């Protein structure tokens, strides 16, 4: 019997995502000047105020207020009417030094013996619904908001958009777990006040259907375009009005959108957030590593769908264990536990091994903090950083390294594919 499945996304202007982006911008700036920095920073945003808290062990001093304001400005909070504006909001820093008790469990005489920065369980997931091996409902939810932000910045076809927005996509699946059609699309977008409230909702709904949706459809393969149909139920700004938004409408905190950041409810999540943590924290690095494993195994043809779990103890370099679930879609004559054993032979899952393999000591994190950490396109960008002395540093940085399909040949050889 057919069933429905839903995923959601939030825009870069959503309060929780503002907090994530500030935390990750600070991570990048510390790593740019000190690749051995240990950083865990949480951010809170509310009306006219940002609060930074957390722990840092680094040889560099940074102007965290300046970095914070630059992030807010880039997102688009540049008008006093938003009640949260880059140049006028307060920025309070309560950052202090990392606990020596934690640090002694992470740092070792040799970097190869580095222990995990925390205990926990992490999951990686991939399926073959999309070209980026991501669940389709989440992929569409991200695309809708990414394109909505592009329309806001262009300020041509739609001129009333404000930064805060959310999306949700519900798909109908067949018994054999194939997407049949889009059942429902929800878009809630912050907007300027209208002179005529009676025409406001109708205008926004019309623009979403006739401008946003065609732009998103044009990015998709024909078979995915066919999922759009005349019977889609649209809920656009269901409350009727969304003028008050961003941190003025809702407090934002780092790490509150972990399902948006990962797989939209598919697979599983270990519970740890990513943003604001340097890669010694396996909450982040091991989640990227398990995604890298799952994606390469699906791309190599081991299975149509794979979930990989790994677990760690704080201060211990070797994982407690690796678990694999192929949901009955395996294409190889091996049990899931035997697949897990081969993974341990192919991939070094110590914290140092993960950091080295994926280049995670580079300042690559600001770009992860909106529109999902997984399913993104690997690319190299040029980034410039400034320290508190006014010195600048320009670096070539490879982004989303965990999305590279660089282990396909090794996986095929190991599994005899």
- CATH number assigned to the domain covering 3-10+137-246: 3.30.300.10
Percentage of the chain exceeding pLDDT 90:
91
Q: What is the pLDDT of residues 222-252, one digit of tens each?
A: 999 999 999 999 999 999 999 999 999 999 9
Q: What is the pLDDT of residues 298-351, one digit of tens each?
A: 999 999 999 999 999 998 999 999 999 999 999 999 999 999 999 999 999 999
Binding site residues, as ranges? Answer: 14, 16, 42, 55, 98, 164-166, 241-242, 250, 256-257, 273, 277, 281
Classified by CATH at the fold level, domain 16-99 comes out as GMP Synthetase; Chain A, domain 3 (3.30.300)
The CA-CA-CA angle for residues 291, 294, 298, to 5°, reads: 140
Q: How far apart are CA 286 and CA 312, in angstroms?
A: 9
pTM over 0.85: yes
Q: What is the pLDDT of residues 161-181, one digit of tens each?
A: 999 999 999 999 999 999 999
The confidence band for 197, taking pLDDT boundaries of 50, 70 and 90, is confident
Q: What is the pLDDT of residues 126-160, one digit of tens each?
A: 999 999 999 999 999 999 999 999 999 999 999 99
Where does 301-396 have alpha helices with state H? Answer: 336-346, 351-358
* Residue-by-residue DSSP string for 267-325: S---S---TTB-TTSHHHHHHHHHHHHHHHHHHHTSBSEEEEEEEE-BT-SS-SEEEEE
Domains 3-10+137-246 and 16-99 share a fold: yes
Is the confidence at residue 110, as pLDDT, over 70? no
Report the b/e string of 6-30 with b at 16+ CB within 10 A.
bbbbbbbbbbbbbbbbbbbbbbbbb
The CA-CA-CA angle for residues 360, 373, 260, to 5°, reads: 150
Q: Break the chain into its structural domains and give their ranges.
A: 3-10+137-246, 16-99, 120-128+255-415
Q: How far apart are CA 16 and CA 253, in angstroms?
A: 5
Contacts with 101 (C-beta within 8 Å, 6 or more apart), sequence order: none
State how beta strands 49-57 and 90-97 pair: parallel
Cα–Cα distances (Å) from 5 to 168, 295, 349, in that order, read 11, 21, 32
Secondary structure (H, E, C), 63-128: CHHHHHHHHHHHHCCCCHHHCCCCCCCEEEEEEEECCHHHHHHHCCCCHHHCCECCCEEEEEEEEC
Query: Which CATH class name applies to 120-128+255-415?
Result: alpha beta
Binding site residues for L-methionine, as ranges? Answer: 55, 98, 250, 281
Binding site residues for K(+), as ranges? Answer: 42
Binding site residues for ATP, as ranges? Answer: 14, 164-166, 241-242, 250, 256-257, 273, 277
Binding site residues for Mg(2+), as ranges? Answer: 16
């Amino acid at each position: 019997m057919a069933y429905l499945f839903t995923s959601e996304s939030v825009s870069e202007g959503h309060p929780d995502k503002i907090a994530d982006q500030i935390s990750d911008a600070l991570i990048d700036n510390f790593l740019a000047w000190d690749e051995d920095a240990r950083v865990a920073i949480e951010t809170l945003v509310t009306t006219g105020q940002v609060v930074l808290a957390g722990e840092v062990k680094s040889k560099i001093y940074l102007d965290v207020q300046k970095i914070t304001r630059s992030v807010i400005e880039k997102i688009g909070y540049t008008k006093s009417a938003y009640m949260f504006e880059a140049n006028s909001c307060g920025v309070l820093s309560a950052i202090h030094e990392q606990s020596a008790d934690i640090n002694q469990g992470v740092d070792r005489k040799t970097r190869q013996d580095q222990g995990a920065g925390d205990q926990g369980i992490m999951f990686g997931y991939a399926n073959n619904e999309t070209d980026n091996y991501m669940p389709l409902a989440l992929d569409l939810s991200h695309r809708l908001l990414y394109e909505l932000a592009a329309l806001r910045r262009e300020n041509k076809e739609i001129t009333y958009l404000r930064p805060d927005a959310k999306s949700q996509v519900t798909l109908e699946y067949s018994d054999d777990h194939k997407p049949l059609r889009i059942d429902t699309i929800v878009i809630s977008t912050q907007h300027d006040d209208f002179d005529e409230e009676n025409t406001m909702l109708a205008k926004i709904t019309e623009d979403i259907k006739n401008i946003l949706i065609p732009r998103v459809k044009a990015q998709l393969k024909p078979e995915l375009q066919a999922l759009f149909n005349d019977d889609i139920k649209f809920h656009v700004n269901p409350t009727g009005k969304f003028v008050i938004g961003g941190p003025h409408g809702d407090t934002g905190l780092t790490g509150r959108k972990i399902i948006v950041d990962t797989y939209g409810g598919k697979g599983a999540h270990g519970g740890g957030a990513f943003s604001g943590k340097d890669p010694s924290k396996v909450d982040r690095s091991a989640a990227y590593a398990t995604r890298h494993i799952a994606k390469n195994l699906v791309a190599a043809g081991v299975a149509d769908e794979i979930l990989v779990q790994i677990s760690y103890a704080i201060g211990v370099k070797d994982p407690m264990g690796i678990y694999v679930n192929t949901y009955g879609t395996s294409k190889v004559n091996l049990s899931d536990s035997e697949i897990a054993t081969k993974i341990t032979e192919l991939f070094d899952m110590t914290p140092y091994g993960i950091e080295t393999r994926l280049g995670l000591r580079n300042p690559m994190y600001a770009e992860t903090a909106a529109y999902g950490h997984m399913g993104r396109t690997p690319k190299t960008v040029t980034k410039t950083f400034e320290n508190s002395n006014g010195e600048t540093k320009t670096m070539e940085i490879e982004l989303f390294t965990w999305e590279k399909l660089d282990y396909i040949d090794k996986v095929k050889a190991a599994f005899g594919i």
